[in-house]
Chain A
Amino acid sequence: MKEKKLTLANVASALIVLCLYVAVFIAEQKLPATSMLFTVLKKGATYALVAVSMNLLNGFTGIFSLGQAGFMLIGAYVYAIFTIPLEQRVNVYQYYAGGVVQFTLPVFVAMLLAGLVAAFFAFLIGLPVLRLKSDYLAIATLGFAEIIRAIFQWNQLGPVTNGSNMLRLFPTFNDFNIRNADGNVTVYLSTLVPLLVAGVCIALIVMIINSTYGRALRSIKDDEVAAEAMGINLAHHKRLAFCVSSFFTGIGGAMLAMYQTTVQAKSFTSAMTYEILLIVVIGGVGSVTGSCISAFLFVAASEWWLRFLDEKQMIGNWEVPLLRNGFRLVVFSIIIMIVVLFFRRGIMGTKELPDLFRRKKKAGGELK
């Protein structure tokens, strides 16, 4: 946006990201594979991608959609259905005689397909849904996600979706590790690859945001009437944003399937969408960097740092009060309320990583 002056900031940002990747690679070779750190990084990468996709829609285009869980479900299922090894299908689809899909796709092709199918669904429902104004659109997309969840569990579709039974035995993140002939891992990549996939996808989203199309989307968020008066076709561009966002959410769904190692429709609840929404809000609506940082913080807090809250803790003979299953969620909700009440613009506001390397703007410049 501000061309030449920016390059230094951009190079610094790129270096930071590169260093992080190198650090993860080294850590993965040195630390035990069961370390909680890797769990957080894998799930964090997945959630970061989905959160950035949601931000593209909610933060940059101003479309308040709550269909994330639905599109993730589609992505997860498409990935799983097309990657379960042929010889395992009899076991997985045990009630459906091995299912109807009798071929497998390479992992990355299946991930791409996961995104494309999610985008196709977005294209279909976009036409009626995107005409709705904010609250109605949120409700309609939420409803869509619930319907998708029901449809995928429908017995009639069992030969494809395995009904309400789980899909499993498809390639997971661990299959990215390089093994020698004895089956021992020589190079650990099970954390690095998902981080790379998410990184590439997020880079693509950033490129879209910084293109003429991204600017058009931002103008729609700022003022629909003015954007339309300046020649930007609202219906077309909203649908585009919806499809692109769903495409990457679908890929995120595929990553979630790999992270979980199993897929079951009933786990893609609206609670999942709310988690993503929280990540976006905490990170800053309209900041890609914010969504990424907050995704990892969120996952680390919920999977790791706050775990102890769910377990009974003894200090000497004294049992710490309140700590029991579910208390984690209470603390979590309180943290979120504090963020929403006192840090309304999130961690990053609308700033991005390169902005942090730029000299402070003159008073009144950046403030809104």
Chain B
Amino acid sequence: MSQEHVLDIRHLTMQFGGVVAVNDFSMHIDDGEIVALIGPNGAGKTTAFNAVTSVYEPTNGEILFEGETIARSHPTGKMKKIFAGGHPDAFVSQPIIRHTPDEITKKGISRTFQNIRLFSGMTVFENVLTVQHLRKKSNFFTAAFHLNGAEEKQMREKTMELLKIVGLQDLRDEMATSLPYGKQRLLEIIRALATDPKLLLLDEPAAGMNPQETLELAAFIQDIKRKFQLTVFVIEHHMDLVMGISDRIYVIDFGKQIAEGVPSEIQNNQAVIDAYLGGDDL
């Protein structure tokens, strides 16, 4: 390999019992790109995200982040018999590699959730403050005895900076879940940013937003990408947003890739149009 991709998914299959949610899916994202993953409902988009973040262990395939294999597996046991994905033998001779989601986040991949998952018992401020725990330098005892004042101050300042980016600084002491929907989505994005990611995964960030908010979100994503030198991987149904900000787009249907290309190619791709036929998205 001459050039390292930021994210490199190879022959990923996710099979739940008999359901093949993602089937032999390969893709890559390069540094600084905004790449979108689109497809009809139930196509397997969120499942692919969950594999990248190690919420699920791949049934088959491997995932590399900045050249490092962060997940690799092949069908074993009962799955060997019922496996219905492609390339079943590609990885059998290689060792299985697995991580917990928090380890993946520490490596620099952070995410938001399709159905917002803010910490409901916490304020707006605490939501962003809390997640900086993963980069702490203090140990339990220095933190418990509050001897890490400098670090704590730094965390709080960073929290305020992030809140200002989305204009939530005045709502800092409100309970996070009492915010309007659109603001909760923004809060979840800056909470993900607070973990210092290199790769940001956004699962339908515009869901539930009105057209005006969606427009602002598009500008916002490009903004933070530049500001924090991010690579962005986004799942989205709002085609205006996808076509407006994506460098490249992958389209999957029933877990399989049906198209890949720049927005103009995807817009005119017959397979994509067919897959969405009947849907009112495109």
Contacts and interface: CB of A to CB of B under 8 A. Distances in A.
Given A1-B126, A213-B140, A213-B143, A219 B101 contact: no
A213 B129 CA distance: 11
Nearest to A210: B146
Contact of A233 (B55, B100, B130, B148): B100
Given A230-B105, A232-B133, A212 B120 contact: no
Interface centre among A213, A231, A234, A286 (most CB of B within 10 A): A231
A235 B103 CA distance: 12
Interface centre among A204, A230, A366 (most CB of B within 10 A): A230
Given A207-B146, A219-B122, A240-B140, A232 B117 contact: no
B216 interface: no
A18 B234 CA distance: 55
Interface string A178-210: 000000000000000000000000001001101
A349 B106 CA distance: 35
A289 B136 CA distance: 29
Contacts of A230: 102, 105, 110, 130-131, 134, 191-192, 195
A228 B143 contact: no
Contacts of A207: 144-146
A216 B113 contact: no
Question: Interface residues of B toward A: which range?
Answer: 35 or more
A231 B111 CA distance: 11
Question: Interface residues of A toward B: which range?
Answer: 35 or more
A227 to B, nearest CB: 8
Interface centre among A211, A218, A235 (most CB of B within 10 A): A211
Interface string A332-368: 0000000000000000001000000000010011101
A215 B133 contact: yes
A47 B276 CA distance: 63
27 contacts: A1-B126, A3-B156, A210-B146, A211-B146, A212-B132, A212-B133, A212-B155, A213-B133, A216-B133, A222-B119, A223-B117, A223-B119, A223-B120, A225-B117, A226-B113, A226-B119, A230-B105, A231-B105, A231-B133, A232-B102, A232-B134, A233-B100, A233-B102, A235-B100, A361-B173, A365-B173, A368-B120
Question: Lowest 7 A-B CB distances belong to which pairs?
Answer: A231-B134, A231-B105, A230-B131, A226-B117, A222-B119, A215-B130, A211-B143
Interface of B: 53, 55, 100-103, 105-106, 110-111, 113, 117-123, 125-126, 129-136, 138, 140, 143-146, 148, 151-152, 155-156, 173-175, 177-178, 191-192, 195
Interface of A: 1-3, 204, 207-208, 210-213, 215-216, 218-219, 221-223, 225-235, 240, 286, 350, 361, 364-366, 368
